[in-house]
Amino acid sequence: MMTKASTAFGDLNNFDVINDTGGRCHGFEIEIEGVRSTDLTYTYDWNHYGAPRIIQDDSVPGTPRLRVRYESVRQADGSFASFTNPQDPAHPLTPTDGHACTDPSVNLGCEHFGVGFYANPGTIRYFWLVEDPAAPGSLMRGPLVNVATPQFIYVPPAAPGAPAQVQVVMEPPEEPEADPAQFGTPIWVKSLKTVQKSGEKVELRDLLTDDESRDDDIDWAGEEEIEVEVEWTIFQKRPVDDPEAKPDEMEGQDDLPEGDETVTRRYEFYTYLGPVNPEDGEAKCDNPEDCPEAIGAYIGAQMAAFNIGIPLGLIDHLQPGELGERYVDRSVVVGGDAPYLIEVSGGRLPEGMTLDPLTGVLSGTPAESGEFRFVVDVMDLSEVVKAQSYVLEIREPLSIESLAVPGAQVGESFTFAFLGAGGVPPYFWSGTGLPDGLHLGQDGAMTGIPALESVGEHLLEVSLADSRGVKTSALMLLVVSPPPPIRGDVDGDRDVDRNDLSLILAARNRKAVGANDPRDLDGDGVITVKDARIVVTLFTRAL
């Protein structure tokens, strides 16, 4: 079936980023405001973390957020399988070392990430992911990364024969919880650009730092001469409502004589080490010739391109889904000249999911689990044909299988193994509300000897996490029984001693209270001197 659509414009943003956090990171997150998962075209998947997880966040009405989350899984010993080393201060990376960021066989303190999307997004933020010190094994956002993202705006020809234009604007990243009356963190920026000739299209994989040691390396500038647009400039968020503050945007404009040229820009970012105004934080040096010592370490580079027409393509990978949980809507077919002819061949989708033949959007709620292999074939209006094979994994949801805990007894060794299912093993267990003397290990084994003061009912909250950090929990009741009685322990202090003897002698010649009176040791129903003689033989403490 064919469907008609308008010409697809698209942004591509690929960037090298240095790990300057001072510690190991275990992932990276890109947050894009104002776009949906169906606006996402490509992601760059060739780093230490592989394909990202796409998360659609609609928690704020009218402001959709898309999160592209690259993250490590955990290994059986609890450590993270993937990481990015901190940059070695003694051997800092330079812009020409950027090709190392795209080589997963080395780990020199940088990574390469990238996204492509339709439409004009709002704010884009980048964060390293670090281990949460308050919840070991979980990942949290680290500091905001000072690598900004340009926004491209296409302007059609103003009159017949006039050129189309592409305008670009880049603003400093918004720092969370920043003081609106203060300037943001200053950084240095250099800007380079090219305008590719008519018909040349740039793909996400082309936007890489050049590797001069490789003959087959693709230059991000193509065959065009690179123009230095801005040699050095200070890039700093200005205070809110300060009319005297200098602009914090970088702007550019390019004519497109043929109407379909591709504009590509490279921005390099460096830390600012120069003086700042102590009152508002404004950088006081904006000319590196006046203060060359103010140029600090290389932070990273953003390679951004705007294609007037995105070439027909298919995304590389599909993220796994979960049984019974709605799959994030994802455009599998990208660019080209609509209308399309889209078919699924060589396999099938899981029950409950569909690939829209008009839009190429994969969606639905999977009703069966397993690995599903299939091929997507697409032909556009220009009769360009593409095909891509996919493996879509639908996982069983993570669950705790053990929903009842056997009783325990004070003083007795206790062992119980919790069982989990679904998700992505290995599993990691934790719990709260455990009685004194018992411990729950990450392997799910609850062991120990309950203490005397733990007698009674205990409401346990048992949590299970899988290798991806997905969590589930359950409440369970654990009853700890008192220890069995000790023969001769009349006062119940778990020792047989002189005090127990005194209690028996004080009750001499009285009838026993019930069949289990601890003073009636010979069981004849009367407390006598004979019982006193017996208790002496049972002493656990010296006279």
257-313: per-residue pLDDT in tens? Answer: 888 888 899 999 999 999 999 999 999 998 999 999 999 999 999 999 888 878 899
Phi–psi pair at 19, nearest 5 degrees = -80, 95
Res 217: pLDDT: 61
Res 221: pLDDT: 74
Domains of the chain (ranges, CATH numbers): 10-307 (no CATH), 313-395 (2.60.40.10), 399-481 (2.60.40.10), 486-543 (1.10.1330.10)
244 has a pLDDT exceeding 80: no
Q: What is the dihedral of CA 228, 231, 237, 243, to 10 degrees?
A: -100
- Better-scored residue on pLDDT, 45 or 258: 45
User: What percentage of the chain carries pLDDT values higher than 90?
Assistant: 71
Return left, alpha or beta for 518; rule: phi > 0 is left, psi -120 to 50 is alpha, else beta: alpha
Burial pattern 444-459, b for ≥16 Cβ within 10 A else e, equals bebebebeeebbeebe
Residues 203-226 have a mean pLDDT of 72
Res 176: pLDDT: 77
7 has a pLDDT exceeding 50: no
What residues contact residue 413 under an 8 Å CB cut-off, 6+ apart? 447, 448, 449
For residues 16 and 212, give the distance between their C-alpha atoms in angstroms, rounded to a whole number. 16
Res 211: pLDDT: 64
420 has a pLDDT exceeding 80: yes
Determine the angle formed by the axes of helices 529-537 and 498-506, rounding to 10 degrees.
170
Indicate the pLDDT class of residue 344, thresholds 50, 70 and 90.
very high
How many CB atoms are located within 10 Å of the residue 199 CB? 10
Res 8: pLDDT: 53
CB half-sphere exposure, 228, CA atoms < 13 A: 6
What residues contact residue 367 under an 8 Å CB cut-off, 6+ apart? 323, 324, 350, 351, 352
| Averaged pLDDT of the chain | 91
Indicate the pLDDT class of residue 189, thresholds 50, 70 and 90.
very high
Peptide bond into 426 cis (omega under 30): yes
Res 243: pLDDT: 65
Indicate the pLDDT class of residue 421, thresholds 50, 70 and 90.
very high
Rg of the chain (C-alpha set) = 34
Res 2: pLDDT: 32
Peptide bond into 89 cis (omega under 30): no
Q: What is the pLDDT of residues 108-152, one digit of tens each?
A: 999 999 999 886 788 899 999 999 999 889 999 998 999 999 988
Res 5: pLDDT: 34
For residues 29 and 129, give the distance between their C-alpha atoms in angstroms, rounded to a whole number. 7
How does DSSP assign 361-414, residue by residue? EEEE---S-EEEEEEEEEE-TT--EEEEEEEEEEEPPPEE-------EETTS-E
Contact in structure between 155 and 164 (CB atoms under 8 Å) = yes
Cα–Cα distance list, 383 to 73, 164, 380 (Å)? 41, 27, 5
- The three-state secondary structure class of 98 is helix
Res 3: pLDDT: 33
What pTM was estimated for this model as a whole?
A: 0.85
Cα 438 to the center of its chain, rounded Å: 33
456 has a pLDDT exceeding 60: yes
Indicate the pLDDT class of residue 202, thresholds 50, 70 and 90.
confident
Nearest to 251, CA basis, from 226, 230, 272: 230
